[in-house]
Amino acid sequence: MKAIQYKDYGSSEVIEQVEVPVPSIQNGHDVLILVKAAGVNPIDIKIRMGFMKAARPVELPFIPGGEAAGIIVSIGDAVTTFKVGDEVIALTKTNGYAEYVTASEDFVLPKPQGLSFVEAASIGVNIGTAQSVLFKAGKLEKGQKLLIQGGGGAAGGAMVQMAKATGAYVIATASGKGVELAKSLGADEVIDYKLEDVTALVKDVDLVADTAGGEAQAKLFKVLRSGGTLLSIVIPPSQELAAQYHIKAGFVASNISAQTLENGISLIKAGTFKPVVSKIFKLGEAAQAQDFLTAGGINGKVILTVD
Ligand SMILES: NC(=O)c1ccc[n+]([C@@H]2O[C@H](COP(=O)([O-])OP(=O)(O)OC[C@H]3O[C@@H](n4cnc5c(N)ncnc54)[C@H](OP(=O)(O)O)[C@@H]3O)[C@@H](O)[C@H]2O)c1
């Protein structure tokens, strides 16, 4: 089968398309999926650049790809939830940039009716991350005031929609076309962070969800109420600043499984969550797709399609 692999760490020049054997089912609970579309995530690029050697070590050559959508072509002996021919989303962690991928049934879910394979490949990481940040770690409740840093991005856009669905008051930061996107996804207020200073405009927020990190994250301690919470999916926030501003702050590693996607999938079925796809590339264009994501200013998910 065709697959995309990293032959080394480095720039997108280390990406190559290769022929490798179709993976075999190793565990009774695994399914084998014919991939129709695969999501491209920032972590794929961080792994390629060698930034994740401590936190997410991989062996080279390495096939990236944490999420895919496709059709089940074979199942392990112990699989009870799925059958051959089912159209599914797979939360693969790795190996998604390929014609076939295996996944354990706990990390597979039926593709919601009405979603294309491209849309289905775009939602797993975003919804799972939003669920982990907003509800598991952030305990977000109806009526609370939330600021989402990067509300026009892939994970941030999912957070906007899921927070609105729960009845929170949502303020998002974004820039360029992301401003309109975050508004269209339901944000009550959107601040263009390139034109305005968020700290001058926002105060007494219960929860900050940061998808940008760096200096942009450090500023946001000021917008929280005393006792509020700052959560980041990019880098651990400063505990010194947390103590200074009397808030709780932490890094969230998302927990992405069929179970943690349940809330988001129910919103999709109810028509209150819409997948946002930014650009579609072919599998063989994986290097261009990653470079497109690296360039920034992306609003929504970058997807690879497999013919
Ligand atoms: N911890 C986890 O489990 C987990 C899970 C998923 C993702 N992540 C990480 O989260 C980050 C975002 O992922 P993503 O897929 O959502 O990427 P993305 O679609 O590129 O979104 C990033 C967002 O950050 C915004 N941004 C960049 N600089 C900013 C600044 N100075 N101030 C405010 N906003 C700024 C961007 O807005 P503009 O485009 O307008 O600049 C964009 O909307 C990545 O680092 C990724 O690796 C972590």
pLDDT in tens, 179-231: 999 999 999 999 999 999 999 999 999 999 999 999 999 999 999 999 999 99
Distance between CA atoms of residues 198 and 192, nearest Å = 8
Closest ligand 1 atom, residue 252 Cα: 1
> How many Å lie between the centroid of ligand 1 and the Cα of residue 146?
17
Q: What is the mean pLDDT of residues 99-123?
A: 97
Q: How far is residue 300 from each of residues 41, 125, 148, 151, 194, measured CA to CA in Å?
A: 11, 12, 15, 10, 19
Confidence of residue 95 (pLDDT cuts 50, 70, 90): very high
Q: Which amino acid is at 286?
A: A
Q: Is the CB of 124 under 6 A from ligand 1?
A: no
pLDDT in tens, 126-162: 999 999 999 999 999 999 999 999 999 999 999 999 9
Closest ligand 1 atom, residue 296 Cα: 39
pTM for the structure as a whole:
0.97
Structural domains of the chain sorted by starting position, each given as residue range(s) with its CATH number in brackets: 2-123+275-305 (3.90.180.10), 126-251 (3.40.50.720)
> How many Å lie between the centroid of ligand 1 and the Cα of residue 111?
26
Smallest Cα–Cα separation from 211: which of 152, 278, 143? 152
Confidence of residue 307 (pLDDT cuts 50, 70, 90): confident
- Is the pLDDT at 272 greater than 90, yes or no? yes
Confidence of residue 1 (pLDDT cuts 50, 70, 90): very high
Confidence of residue 290 (pLDDT cuts 50, 70, 90): very high
SS3 201: helix
Q: Is the CB of 138 under 6 A from ligand 1?
A: no
Closest ligand 1 atom, residue 43 Cα: 47
- Is the pLDDT at 92 greater than 90, yes or no? yes
Q: Cβ distance 304 to 282 under 8 Å? A: yes
Q: Is the CB of 68 under 6 A from ligand 1?
A: no
